[in-house]
Amino acid sequence: MPEEREIKIPVGEDFVLPDLDGVVETTHAVDRGTVELSATYWDTDSLTLLHAKLGLRYRSAPGEQGKWTLKAGDRMVGDAVSREETNFPGPPDEPPQEAIDVINREVGAVVLHPVAQLVTDRHTVDLVAAETRRAEVADDRVSVRSGDATVLAFREVEVELFDADAALIDAVMTRLRAAGAGDPESTPKYVRALRALGHQIPEKASA
């Protein structure tokens, strides 16, 4: 599976994403605007995938083809969460067989169903150098849904690292902290959603 690395930072409702243009020399910021993302997470009644450090999600955005994502093996690398991540095409009402095959090899045959739904307004800024996207900074306003009701709303910034070196990471984190961002925090959105929905999740859980 390809690897994903990201730093998650809680921010308050009054937080203003700072200008990141020129945060380090030769790097410029490209504002990608805001999009609404709808994500449905699948697991068993006993959260078998979560306890095995797996996560299965279907996510879509208006006007775009939705996709399934299987995440595995969270570990901390400095302030960043590193995990393996694989995307699969397929309709939203049934997980793709390729993902099921991987899950069955890891935990055995299981019956999966939707366990959490999140809607995120995501404002994205890319950090680009020499036509290479080195990092993505996403300002996320998240709503956890139960039917038509919102049971939790929160906001966080995600810094996804592609070709980012230590100097770029330090510069971005310094600018975010100066704007009022908190310390990095590793709890996934999915876990925060499950807790809000009444599940008892261990502090070290990841997905």
117: CATH: 2.40.320.10
Output the pLDDT for position 3: 85
DSSP-H helix ranges across 32-92: 48-51
| 205 occurs within a structural domain | no
Output the pLDDT for position 74: 83
Question: pLDDT tens, 90-113?
Answer: 999 999 999 999 999 999 999 999
Residue keyed to tokens 């807790």? 195
Q: Give the residue among 152, 140, 102, 101 at the shortest CA–CA distance from 15.
A: 140
Output the pLDDT for position 204: 61
pLDDT more than 90, % of the chain: 86
Count of domains observed in the chain:
1
| 203 occurs within a structural domain | no
Q: Give the residue among 119, 165, 138, 136 at the shortest CA–CA distance from 17.
A: 138
Provide the 8-state DSSP code for 180: T
Output the pLDDT for position 20: 97
∠ CA 145-146-152, rounded to 5°:
45
The DSSP bridge partners found for residue 18 are none
Output the pLDDT for position 76: 85
In terms of residue numbers, what domain contains 52? Answer: 3-196
Residue 207 has pLDDT above 60, yes or no: no
Output the pLDDT for position 205: 60
Whether pTM exceeds 0.85:
yes
Burial class of 10 by CB neighbour count within 10 A (0 to 12, 13 to 18, 19+) = middle
d(CA 75, CA 132): 26
Average pLDDT over residues 42-51: 96
Residue 192 has pLDDT above 60, yes or no: yes
Average pLDDT over residues 13-25: 96
Q: By three-state DSSP, how is residue 175 classified? A: helix
| 44 occurs within a structural domain | yes
Q: Give the residue among 184, 182, 205, 62 at the shortest CA–CA distance from 120.
A: 62
Average pLDDT over residues 65-75: 92
Residues with Cβ within 8 Å of 56's Cβ and at least 6 positions away in sequence, in order, are 41, 42, 43, 49, 68, 69, 70, 71, 95, 99, 103, 112
Tell me the residue ranges of DSSP E strands in the chain. 3-10, 28-43, 54-60, 67-77, 80-88, 113-129, 132-146, 149-161
Residue 201 has pLDDT above 90, yes or no: no
Q: Give the residue among 104, 74, 105, 71 at the shortest CA–CA distance from 88.
A: 71
| 202 occurs within a structural domain | no
